[in-house]
């Protein structure tokens, strides 16, 4: 699986997430919105799994460790999200959505930081070389949008 395919699949997942938000804005389209959200998350998870398997094979690293980290993160995040969602009253739902949305912006910033810190791990540039210009622009936009999302959601 090439990085172009990975990027395309993540882009499709992102579009699904956007459609999920759009669908969840109206009770009549909420089921469709949830379907888009689940589809986008399935694409993102499967793409990440495939990427972990590919990178482990290329780097000769321990596949079990990478998958273990992924599943630990899914379990911890799912448990925390379930606990928080169960404790929040319906009248506080907008605040919960804003808080969760802020974490999405923070994740975008963290991912961009990881790519800048170690571009060779993402196949963008050989060790010691600069990240290509187009990728630098993409990382800047991702960081900028993530920072605005994070700060705006925290304020909300």
Exposure of 127 in the CB half-sphere (CA atoms within 13 A): 1
Q: Domain span at residue 23?
A: 1-62
Span 77-106, mean pLDDT?
A: 84
| Residue 149: other Cβ atoms inside 10 A | 19
60 dihedral zone (left: phi>0; alpha: psi -120 to 50; beta) = left
Predicted confidence (pLDDT) at residue 3 exceeds the cutoff of 80? no
Answering whether pTM is above 0.85, one says: no
Coarse DSSP helix, strand, coil percentages of the chain, rounded to the nearest 5 percent: 85, 0, 15
Distance CA 30, CA 34 (A): 6
The band of 41, judged by pLDDT with boundaries at 50, 70 and 90, is very high
Give the chain's domain count: 2
Tell me the pLDDT of the chain averaged across its residues: 86
Mark whether 37 and 96 lie in a shared domain: no
Is there a single domain that holds both residue 100 and residue 58? Answer: no
């Amino acid at each position: 699986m090439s990085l172009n395919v990975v990027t395309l699949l993540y882009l499709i997942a992102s579009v699904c997430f956007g459609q999920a938000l759009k669908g969840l804005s109206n009770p009549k389209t909420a089921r469709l919105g949830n379907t888009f959200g689940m589809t986008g998350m399935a694409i993102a998870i499967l793409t990440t799994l495939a990427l972990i398997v590919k990178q482990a094979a290329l780097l000769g690293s321990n596949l079990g460790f990478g998958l273990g980290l992924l599943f630990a993160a899914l379990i911890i995040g799912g448990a925390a999200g379930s606990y928080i969602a169960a404790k929040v009253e319906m009248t506080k739902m907008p605040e919960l959505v804003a808080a969760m949305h802020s974490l999405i912006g923070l994740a975008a910033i963290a991912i961009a930081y990881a790519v800048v810190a170690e571009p060779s791990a993402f196949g963008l540039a050989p060790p010691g070389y600069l990240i290509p210009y187009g990728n630098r622009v993409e990382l800047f936009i991702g960081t900028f949008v993530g920072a605005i999302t994070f700060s705006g959601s925290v304020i909300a």
